[in-house]
């Protein structure tokens, strides 16, 4: 049976398997109270105020703290496919850089001059870059995934949607939890969270997390590193709430995350025997395999290190019963380094490093209010950031050495507002607008030393280490602006049924090609390309949705249909060949439409079945390549699976005197998708083919069996759980780097991690 059919069959057999068990347990416990036989009411802050999820006229998914814990969600990467239309990958080579896509719009370039299409927020503070964007959130209370442009109410770069990560508030009384998780590969994960009794006006909460795991890729004794794909990280979070006066609340949040581990192994996937024989590496192709390997032989140092700190302070003042003023101040700092053997072999073919320092400052001032028929939000927002990356590259036993450095600086100011008006009780009319003005600056340096490969432009002069094609002082800047409106109509057909129609526009700022370099061209050409900005990317989105609560709140069904038009698409094209650099180009226009279904069913007391499905159909209306030719019908849309679905069963299997036995099965599937916007058909033999770096459709099944709610004295409870992730041991390739025909079609791949399993003990008080 084909692999993906095996996964589908497993899902069909295993997911319903808990239903009869749960119903049997319920029948045997018929005399027990019927608590939990309805779906709980979910409150979200998607529109900057607390609202019922089923009444918000936006396609939004909310995951509670219980779901976050039971489904093993540790960071943003674990959310892939758990919300309709959400696709998340770790960027090729790394485990701490995110590639987030919602409804077909994404960013795939990890460099700091590149802005994401999906905004990620932690307690209201925007996370500026994908680099370091995958970090473990300590004490995560709720996750909200908003699909479609959210430019009216959210800071910046929410062209495709937004992900809100909300951490837990201090309780003001002594409480806490501690857990220890032990698994294969010598994995140990420990977590602890403590709330202190309120002291005067201050409520405090402190949480810590520490994780270690051996790498599942072992290396030869002669290799430069002992193992790959390991985990070694820790995190800390401090929360402090200050009740300064009645109606005046201050909330300080501090988080710290440290990572010091080896990155994902770039396993050699494909290489041209003829090319590498010609350039003196005839045995390199013998290291290539298209099946997941667990043994590597490398020659370059391998590490991935990140140190992330974040501070935020939110001050809320209830001016009167109708109006609240709020200030959200945030500062985040990132130090991120990696070192990669990109050819995945013991030969010195491609070796690169990145050393990044980055910091950001944001300030959001909000006015929130309501009257009899009105609700309103208005505000001003500022965001500023600055970062630098040193990115040395070495090729062919240092026959080509490159000094590549780039720095970025942004300064963005915006004003926004939204009004919701109820002319009739079941009817809500909403309108919003945002004006954004953003200045982008770039500092770029590129020098090369390759007299035998590129003698014309890469031969240093006497006493020089490099010939500089982009010298120090190349510092272009440009200001971009946009006005993005939103309008919606929501109508409550009954107490159980709501429908809405929404129009919204999204904007992602332009910028400069921070990594562009071409050693086959002179300095004037390279400087000219660097100084030429790419334009902002924009989207117009039409969405119709229906939200329903059925069978006395035992069943929820939410659907959304969307039709989006995008223009000036910012496509990151990995050039390979000379310089192994990337270029960002405004490729053209696209039409993206699809449908989403999401639901939950309380099929028995204490048991839930959840599911979602997304259909996505993206197409280019125009794709102008580097030659100026329209390749709309011959270019791949990236990170856009046509079909994706997720289903989970969280069931009470048996109620015992000691506690309750619970089981969870969680299966997520995504169909084929491309990782680069390459040609679909080989019309140009000098360029990469999209199918050579395509991720095949596959699914991941996770399982958990827990003895929960075990009484430990008068005020404590415990839980013991057995778990298994990637139960079917899926070994699909998940991301690629394809250097193209100009570099011997050298392609490396990352793969799904093998099956992991273990036991977790938790104590709560």
Using CA atoms, how far residue 764 sits from 172, 177, 192, 211, 484, in Å, is 16, 4, 10, 20, 46
Query: Is the pLDDT score of 166 beyond 50?
Result: yes
Mean pLDDT value of segment 392-408 = 95
Question: Residue 235: which pLDDT band, with cuts at 50, 70 and 90?
Answer: very high
Residues 73 and 95: their CA atoms lie apart, in Å, by: 15
Count of alpha carbons within 13 angstroms of residue 69, beta-carbon side: 21
pLDDT class of 490 with cuts at 50, 70, 90: very high
User: Any idea which residue has 């005046």 for tokens?
Assistant: 248
Task: Identify the pLDDT of residue 28.
Answer: 38
pLDDT value at 15 more than 80? no
Least confident of 135-149, 523-537, 605-619: 135-149
306-324 pLDDT per residue, tens: 999 999 999 999 999 999 9
Inform me whether the pLDDT recorded for 85 exceeds 70.
Answer: yes
Give the model's confidence band at 108: pLDDT under 50 very low, under 70 low, under 90 confident, else very high: confident
Answer positive or negative: Cα dihedral of 371, 374, 375, 381: negative
CA-based nearest residue to 755, from 695, 701, 706: 701
Residue-wise pLDDT tens digits, 752-765: 999 999 999 999 99
Q: Of 14-28, 248-262, 521-535, which gets the smallest average pLDDT?
A: 14-28
Is residue 36 over pLDDT 60?
no
Out of 156-170, 338-352, 422-436, 473-487, least confident range: 156-170
Kindly indicate the confidence band of residue 475, based on its pLDDT and cuts at 50, 70 and 90.
Answer: very high
SS3 40: coil
pLDDT value of residue 467: 97
pLDDT (0 to 100) of residue 575: 57
Under 8 Å between Cβ of 568 and 586:
yes
Q: How far apart are CA 245 and CA 236, in angstroms?
A: 29
Q: Is the pLDDT of residue 38 over 90?
A: no
Q: Answer whether 60's CB lies under 8 Å from 46's CB.
A: yes
DSSP lists the bridge partners of residue 665 as 649, 703
Q: What is the pLDDT of residue 6?
A: 44
pLDDT at residue 677, as a whole number: 92
460-472, pLDDT tens digit by residue? 999 999 999 999 9
DSSP string, 151-211: TTTSSS--SSEEEEEEEPPP-SSSEEEEEEEEETTTEEEEEEEEEPPPBTTEEEEEEEEEE
Query: Do residues 147 and 596 make contact, with C-beta atoms less than 8 angstroms apart?
Result: yes
Say what the pLDDT of residue 212 is: 97
Q: 504 versus 156: which is more confidently predicted?
A: 504
Give the confidence band of 227 by pLDDT, cuts at 50, 70, 90.
very high
Encoded tokens for 499: 């429908």
**Lowest mean per-residue pLDDT among 156-165, 338-347, 487-496:** 156-165
Residue 503 scores a pLDDT above 90: yes
Check whether 750 has a pLDDT greater than 50: yes
Domain boundaries, the chain: 3-603+613-764
- Report the CATH superfamily, name and number, of domain 3-603+613-764: TonB-dependent receptor, beta-barrel domain (2.40.170.20)
Tell me the pLDDT of the chain averaged across its residues: 91
- Tally of CB atoms within 10 A around 350: 24
pLDDT value at 591 more than 90: yes
């Amino acid at each position: 049976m084909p692999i993906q059919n095996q996964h589908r069959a497993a899902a069909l057999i295993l997911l319903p398997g808990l239903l009869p068990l749960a119903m049997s347990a319920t029948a045997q416990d018929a005399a027990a109270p019927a608590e939990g036989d309805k779906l709980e009411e979910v409150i979200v802050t998607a529109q900057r105020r607390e609202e019922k999820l089923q009444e918000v006229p936006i396609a939004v998914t909310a995951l509670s703290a219980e779901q976050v814990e039971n489904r093993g969600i540790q960071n943003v990467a674990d959310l892939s496919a758990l919300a309709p239309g959400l696709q998340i990958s770790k960027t090729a080579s790394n485990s701490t850089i995110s590639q987030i896509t919602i409804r077909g719009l994404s960013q795939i370039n990890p460099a700091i001059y590149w802005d994401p299409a999906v905004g990620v927020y932690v307690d209201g503070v925007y996370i500026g870059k994908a680099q370091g964007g995958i970090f473990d959130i300590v004490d995560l209370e709720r996750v909200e995934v908003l699909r479609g442009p959210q430019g009216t109410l959210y800071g910046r770069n929410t062209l495709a949607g937004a992900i809100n990560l909300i951490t837990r508030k201090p309780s003001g009384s002594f409480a806490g939890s501690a857990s220890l998780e032990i698994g294969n590969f010598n994995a140990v994960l420990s977590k602890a969270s403590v709330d202190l009794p309120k002291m005067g006006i201050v409520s405090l909460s402190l949480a810590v997390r520490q994780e270690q795991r051996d790498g599942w890729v072992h290396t030869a004794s002669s290799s430069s590193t002992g193992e790959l794909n390991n985990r070694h990280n820790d995190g800390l979070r401090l929360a402090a709430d200050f009740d300064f006066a009645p109606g005046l609340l201050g909330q300080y949040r501090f988080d710290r995350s440290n990572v010091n581990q080896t990155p994902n192994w770039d396993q050699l996937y494909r290489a041209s025997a003829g090319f590498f024989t010609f350039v003196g590496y005839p045995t390199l192709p013998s290291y290539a395999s298209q099946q997941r390997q667990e043994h590597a032989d490398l020659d370059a140092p391998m590490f991935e290190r990140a140190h992330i700190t974040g501070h935020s302070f939110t001050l809320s003042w209830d001016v009167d019963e109708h109006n609240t003023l709020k200030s959200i101040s945030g500062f985040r700092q990132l130090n991120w380094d990696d070192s990669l053997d990109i050819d995945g072999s013991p030969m010195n073919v491609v070796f690169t490093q990145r050393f990044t320092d980055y910091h950001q400052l944001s300030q959001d001032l909000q006015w929130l209010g309501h009257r009899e028929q009105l609700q309103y939000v208005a505000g001003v927002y500022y965001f500023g950031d600055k970062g630098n990356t040193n990115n040395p590259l070495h090729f062919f036993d240092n026959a080509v050495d490159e000094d590549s450095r780039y720095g970025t600086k942004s300064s963005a100011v915006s004003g926004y507002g939204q009004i919701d008006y109820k002319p009739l009780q079941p009817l809500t009319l909403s309108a919003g607008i945002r004006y954004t003005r953003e200045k982008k600056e770039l500092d770029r340096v590129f020098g090369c030393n390759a007299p035998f490969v590129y003698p014309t432009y890469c031969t240093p002069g006497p006493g020089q280490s490099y010939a500089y094609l982009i010298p120090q002082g190349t510092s272009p800047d440009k200001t971009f602006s946009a006005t993005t409106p939103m309008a919606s109509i929501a109508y409550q057909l009954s107490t159980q049924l709501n429908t809405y129609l929404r129009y919204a526009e999204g904007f992602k700022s332009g910028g400069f090609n921070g990594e562009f370099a071409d050693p086959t061209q002179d300095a004037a050409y390279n400087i000219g390309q660097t100084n030429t900005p790419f334009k902002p990317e924009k989207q117009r989105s039409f969405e119709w949705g229906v939200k329903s609560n059925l069978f006395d709140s035992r069943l929820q069904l939410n659907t959304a249909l969307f039709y989006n038009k995008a223009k000036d698409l910012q496509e990151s094209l990995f050039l390979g060949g000379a310089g192994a650099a990337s270029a960002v180009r405004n490729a053209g226009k696209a039409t993206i439409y699809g449908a989403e279904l999401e639901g939950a069913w309380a099929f028995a007391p204490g048991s839930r079945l959840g599911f979602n499905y997304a259909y996505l159909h993206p197409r280019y209306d125009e794709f102008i390549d580097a030659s100026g030719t329209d390749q709309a019908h011959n270019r791949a849309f990236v990170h856009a699976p046509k079909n994706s679905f997720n289903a989970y069963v969280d069931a009470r299997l048996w109620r015992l005197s000691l506690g309750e036995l619970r089981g969870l099965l969680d299966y997520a599937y995504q169909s084929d998708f491309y990782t680069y916007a390459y040609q679909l058909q080989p019309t140009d033999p000098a360029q990469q083919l999209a199918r050579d770096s395509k991720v095949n459709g596959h699914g991941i099944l996770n399982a958990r069996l827990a003895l929960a709610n075990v009484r430990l004295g008068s005020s404590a409870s415990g839980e013991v759980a057995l778990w298994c992730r990637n139960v079917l041991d899926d070994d699909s390739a998940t991301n690629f780097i394809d250097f193209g025909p100009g570099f011997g079609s050298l392609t490396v791949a990352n793969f799904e991690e093998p099956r992991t399993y273990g036991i977790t003990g938790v104590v709560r008080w």
